[in-house]
Structure 1
């Protein structure tokens, strides 16, 4: 047997403190894993395998990864390709942002890896050597197993006495023993990876094998060998070696590799445990000008609401000025509120863009719950608009373009701001827009982690939030696009695109009664093509909005021929809801008339 290993331990390669996360998210994902490989009758072993079992925040945010690869024997560099696949995935996956989903993180890594392998095999001095390998990986995060697969390696799940093959071979068989791969890493410039999510339960066993095993023994034989080993308490690497040995005795003439991962426990942190973690730091006492907290002196109050207070503070040691945001004591017993407040600083530290206000770390560990922001001298976007009787369209478009740039920074981190409104955008002394307040942000990677508290569904401000957010859904970029379009409309007209009625809408049927008011109804100086861009951005149906911020900004700056038709468009395009209502009403009248004539 060439290599084997078993592990329940932490990943020693990750130093403590790196990639720290909110401790309240840390639940219990315990597992035991082992692996073994044998070159069999071959002169060299072209299989490769790898496990990464981190502890603490990294396990919570990125999960545990098990990877297996089989270098294609007909490719001269198959062995190197398999090793690169395993080693690079286990390294690069954990280097992706912890706000990304498992799927997005893995696909970015695999796409880059495939391009590198393909380039090595085509158009370089090593083009005569084929860098081609199969690849299968399982990432366990919270309550879910995320499977990534290309080629003819396999992943099975053993639950109780039932074993199930979770992957399908990407190969074409031409005889009992001969088949050709249709898909593999490095085979084609375009990579298509099978992906699926599977709920995991305690006791589940995930078994990954190369074709040197599953081409020679069936799934039931694999399950039988694993069950016997588990029942006798064998170390996991010995169980994997036993599976390989059984295939070898069955006549396998290929490399043989097996991985085994058993889920021992999977559950989010208990509610009491979670609340203790969230309330580790107490709420600050009520603060007034001149008060001191953690070495900061309160200079003045900038904003106060029932949910939070914002003060300008000065560090008494360095004389540096910061903006301090503190939670409201009204929510001391609300875990969902405290979680959002904690997450706000976590999110802010991961966004670095000129159009986003920076969250900063203070020089001393905090003794109370608050966070510090850079000081931005200026006014809110609402104050900026109120101070002007009229605004130039080009000035509004410039500000909207800057805000869109900041929202792209959230998009790159797989985040949705969800509370874009005039009070959450600052305009500094140089006229530059800065987004603030991340308390309503939706983070894709965090959304994958199960928690034991009930989170608020509808966040954000009703007048500016996309309809789908009212019932707890998000359309990603398109949700923030609705808010940005509403903001642009209001800056240009002083009104909301659907009026005040949107604030009372809760269910999908409520939004069907809303009607868009053309922006040039309020401001005749707005060109029809700009109104067309605004109308599309604030469409009540997410699928009809722009797909990207760039498209919206381009149409605000360049006349779109489609919008130049303006009111000459067919009525069904301008107001499809009203059109079909009237059609339905006419048909109903005709049906009733026909019925009356027939009865008469």
Structure 2
């Protein structure tokens, strides 16, 4: 049995929890249950949340106690060190899959059968991760998580067992029992005053709903940890009094307060630092000497600077004073620095950690020599397929780094890609990046308009405010098409014309209209990459690059065998209209 200590102090804007539990071997010789819980410090609490977990080792397994202990401790430890950018569900799923595979590998399973002489690491498992205003529940087996709110009980999880007449229920799922793990996942809204109970079957199989109701009703209005521990002991003793002959474990999580930050508070925090005034050559800012004004616009200012301590060149980026009151823009600017400090890849612009205690809002990036891909396009019309393929390979490598961190760029376009004289590319300007973990918090302002650049933004983002890695793939396909032809795969939209009603209103234009010498297989690959309907698009960047690298001749044959209506609907209807017109003229002449 394990009960990890709570640590850290929460601020008023943080989630506040109180946790207490108790476990006993009961009438058994050994306690094969385990529980653990942790409320991290303020920063980690916002990034990853608080975690409570319970496990009940299977008595039939000779390593039951070890399995349950390992499950709760390893789950918490490994979950807390997953990337801060990952969503809670992705982080937990990765950890549980890895944990299950290790437990399963210890069992000596051969073709689904267990070697009786091998150690068996089998356990049920349930966990509650409380983050911001949401509780994430992960469950395998017959441990349970029950919610008590407003004097009403609700069992959230479903027991994974099969009832047998006159016999003990047969467990159908457990960690370590199968290399194909199936986990139940639930999300619940957290409210102040909620009480969550994590229990083993030695508890909930022997205590009635009415008894639980009476026990929970006895809890003080603002319980302390000692109150929760006392109630846990009382619940354990009640189960034993009711005839429980199993291990008995109960873990209680009480929600004292949930974050309820108002828009004004978030905006105040965003504007806590001052936007520096427009700088001139020779001026200094926090130890950075301005050597050149690279770019100045109504949105931002870019400067080539030298760190006076190291004499190294960098690019300093500061928002324009015009956006001092634009919380959405400032949120994106700060997010760019946050992401840039965490993503490390040779094809992604690096952002340095900010100066401590600086009063100004800016960030410092690595200095890149070269030009934007947009400028490169003007200098290199109609490049070879091989050259474009090499650039695509590098951009895809960068985007996969984003994908591994559960990030979506959302503003992929030629002007956000730098290329040097050797053809090496860097992805830049990611202030619009979608960060799954931050999206789960109440720390960001809700976006009400789609992010992206006209003619590169994915249709699903325009129509449904939806953006994922397939949306980035669409933008990538548009860039590839433009590099090869100087044109766009769909009729260009003007700002006032963003009125697409559905995917069918977008008609792909064959790249052979602009470069007839390009092969049909390439046109088909680009068409699939830029499909308006994401369901018809490539599912992964690797699929797109594979088709760019290894032409599929069978795809060309399949395309040629399709009816004209499917291959080229515009030409079909034009031809049909022409035939009907000729028929009409012929009828009039007769």
Superposed counterparts of 1:127-142, under 5 Å? 128-142=118-132
1:571 paired to 2:573: no
Q: CA deviation at 1:33?
A: 1.3
Q: How far apart, CA to CA, are the structure 2 residues paired with 1:274 and 1:190?
A: 43
Q: CA deviation at 1:487?
A: 0.3
Q: How far apart, CA to CA, are the structure 2 residues paired with 1:246 and 1:10?
A: 31
Q: Which residue of 2 aligns with 1:41?
A: 27
SS at match of 2:124: strand
Q: Which residue of 2 aligns with 1:202?
A: 192
Q: Which residue of 1 aligns with 2:51?
A: 65
Q: Which residue of 1 aligns with 2:506?
A: 514
Q: Which residue of 2 aligns with 1:421?
A: 413
Q: CA deviation at 1:257?
A: 0.4
Q: Note if contact 1:325-1:371 (Cα within 8 Å) is conserved in structure 2.
A: yes
SS at match of 1:68: strand
Q: Which residue of 1 aligns with 2:211?
A: 221
Distance verdict in 2 for CA 1:363–1:213, change over 3 Å: closer
Q: How far apart, CA to CA, are the structure 2 residues paired with 1:232 and 1:329?
A: 47
Q: Which residue of 1 aligns with 2:78?
A: 92
Q: Note if contact 2:161-2:169 (Cα within 8 Å) is conserved in structure 1.
A: yes
Q: How far apart, CA to CA, are the structure 1 residues paired with 2:116 and 2:371?
A: 60
Distance verdict in 2 for CA 1:397–1:363, change over 3 Å: same
Q: Note if contact 1:424-1:437 (Cα within 8 Å) is conserved in structure 2.
A: yes
Distance verdict in 2 for CA 1:567–1:212, change over 3 Å: same
Q: Which residue of 2 aligns with 1:477?
A: 469
Q: Which of 298, 302, 327 is residue 294 of structure 2 equivalent to? A: 302
Query: What CA RMSD, in Å, does the superposition of the two structures yield over aligned residues?
Result: 2.6
Q: CA deviation at 1:575?
A: 5.0
Superposed counterparts of 1:392-541, under 5 Å? 392-451=384-443, 453-471=445-463, 473-501=465-493, 504-509=496-501, 512-541=504-533
Q: Which residue of 2 aligns with 1:192?
A: 182
Distance verdict in 2 for CA 1:501–1:32, change over 3 Å: same
Q: Note if contact 1:416-1:480 (Cα within 8 Å) is conserved in structure 2.
A: yes
Greater CA drift, 189-198 or 449-458 = 449-458
SS at match of 2:219: helix
Q: Which residue of 2 aligns with 1:589?
A: none
SS at match of 2:216: helix
Q: Note if contact 1:53-1:64 (Cα within 8 Å) is conserved in structure 2.
A: yes
State the number of aligned residues.
570
SS at match of 2:488: coil
Q: How far apart, CA to CA, are the structure 2 residues paired with 1:80 and 1:516?
A: 59
Q: Which of 250, 255, 259 is residue 267 of structure 1 equivalent to? A: 259
- Give 5+ residue unaligned stretches, structure 2: 577-590
Distance verdict in 2 for CA 1:39–1:487, change over 3 Å: same
Q: Note if contact 1:466-1:482 (Cα within 8 Å) is conserved in structure 2.
A: yes
1:30 paired to 2:3: no
Q: How far apart, CA to CA, are the structure 1 residues paired with 2:126 and 2:247?
A: 16
Q: Which residue of 1 aligns with 2:88?
A: 102
- For residues 310-343 of structure 1, what are the alpha-carbon distances to aligned partners after superposition, in whole Å with 9 as ceiling and x for unaligned? 1111112221100111101111011111111111
Superposed counterparts of 1:310-329, under 5 Å? 310-329=302-321
Q: Which of 114, 121, 128 is residue 100 of structure 2 equivalent to? A: 114
Q: How far apart, CA to CA, are the structure 1 residues paired with 2:568 and 2:204?
A: 59
SS at match of 2:27: coil
TM-score by length of 2: 0.91
Distance verdict in 2 for CA 1:576–1:82, change over 3 Å: farther
Q: CA deviation at 1:522?
A: 0.4
Q: Which of 332, 342, 349 is residue 324 of structure 2 equivalent to? A: 332
Q: Note if contact 1:533-1:563 (Cα within 8 Å) is conserved in structure 2.
A: no
Distance verdict in 2 for CA 1:382–1:3, change over 3 Å: closer
TM-score by length of 1: 0.90
Q: How far apart, CA to CA, are the structure 2 residues paired with 1:507 and 1:165?
A: 46
- For residues 396-424 of structure 1, what are the alpha-carbon distances to aligned partners after superposition, in whole Å with 9 as ceiling and x for unaligned? 11101110110000000000001111110
SS at match of 2:314: strand
- Give 5+ residue unaligned stretches, structure 1: 17-22, 584-600
Q: Note if contact 1:268-1:451 (Cα within 8 Å) is conserved in structure 2.
A: no
Q: CA deviation at 1:4?
A: 6.9
Q: Which residue of 2 aligns with 1:158?
A: 148
Q: How far apart, CA to CA, are the structure 2 residues paired with 1:453 and 1:232?
A: 31
Distance verdict in 2 for CA 1:45–1:359, change over 3 Å: same
Q: Which of 25, 50, 67 is residue 81 of structure 1 equivalent to? A: 67
Q: Which of 238, 251, 259 is residue 246 of structure 1 equivalent to? A: 238
Q: CA deviation at 1:450?
A: 2.1
Q: CA deviation at 1:275?
A: 2.4
Q: CA deviation at 1:38?
A: 1.1
Q: Which of 380, 383, 387 is residue 375 of structure 2 equivalent to? A: 383
Q: How far apart, CA to CA, are the structure 2 residues paired with 1:493 and 1:438?
A: 26
Q: Which residue of 2 aligns with 1:592?
A: none
